[in-house]
Amino acid sequence: MRDYEFTLKFKLPDPTTDTAMYVDALYESGCDDAIIGTGTKGFIALDFIREAPSAYDAMSSAINDVRKAIPRAEIVEASPDFVGVTDVANLLGCSRQNIQKLLSKSISDRPPAVYGGAQSVWHLFELLAWLIEHKNYQIDESLVEIAKTTRSLNLVKQSEMLDPDTQRKFHNLVSINIDTQ
């Protein structure tokens, strides 16, 4: 069993409901290992440190516990997933300049940014895997596992927004077919 640290953000079924009314119900449903954020009307966020055999088990049990208290709550996002240079440095306990230097000197083999601009954004899992494989970083396995799991959840959630025909067309467009003849 490991401890997994992650955040789940939910859209509430009724945006006019006072989010504070859910706090006790969440605690009673099993979310006593989370800090609950109710600052944005119509949304609720929970920062978990949950012990489980895997990151998937930790996250799925947390989602199920939230849905016991708020049955029609819609998962919006799981984190850590989308990160910038500062986020990665904070997670790894090093300087922002160190991460920026590694990325700027490794243009050919670094993972592609989800958003490339003045403040580029990556999937955390891809950066961690790159740091382990190409830069010999020693990174806590639970962080790598939770980053992979949150990325997967967010990608599935985003893919649900596509209509099936469009999804199939784009899947065929971006897939690499290797002819083995």
Q: Give the tens place of pLDDT for each residue, 100-112.
A: 999 888 778 889 9
Do 38 and 106 sit in the same domain of this protein?
A: no
The one-character DSSP state at 38 is -
pLDDT for the residue numbered 167: 83
Do 54 and 72 sit in the same domain of this protein?
A: yes
Do 59 and 93 sit in the same domain of this protein?
A: no
Task: Output the average pLDDT for the chain.
Answer: 92
Look at residues 79, 102, 121 and tell me which one is the last residue of a structural domain: 79
Structure tokens at 84: 């910038």
Q: Which helix (H) or strand (E) holds 7?
A: strand 2-11
pLDDT for the residue numbered 164: 87
CATH number at residue 17: 3.30.70.3400
Structure tokens at 21: 């009314």
Give the model confidence (pLDDT) of 150-169 as tens digits: 999 999 999 888 888 888 88
Please report, for residues 7, 32, 90, 158, the alpha-carbon distance to residue 46 in angstroms, rounded to integers and kept in the order given.
5, 10, 20, 20
pLDDT for the residue numbered 171: 83
Instruction: Note whether residue 156 is domain-resident.
Output: no
- What SS3 class is residue 47? strand
- Paired with 46 in beta bridges are 8, 36
Give the model confidence (pLDDT) of 77-89 as tens digits: 999 999 999 999 9
Give the model confidence (pLDDT) of 4-49 as tens digits: 999 999 999 998 888 888 999 999 999 999 999 988 889 999 999 9
Instruction: Note whether residue 21 is domain-resident.
Output: yes
What domain range is 45 assigned to? Answer: 2-79
Total tally of structural domains belonging to the chain: 2
pLDDT for the residue numbered 178: 55
Instruction: Note whether residue 116 is domain-resident.
Output: yes
Q: Percentage of the chain with pLDDT > 70?
A: 97
Instruction: Note whether residue 173 is domain-resident.
Output: no
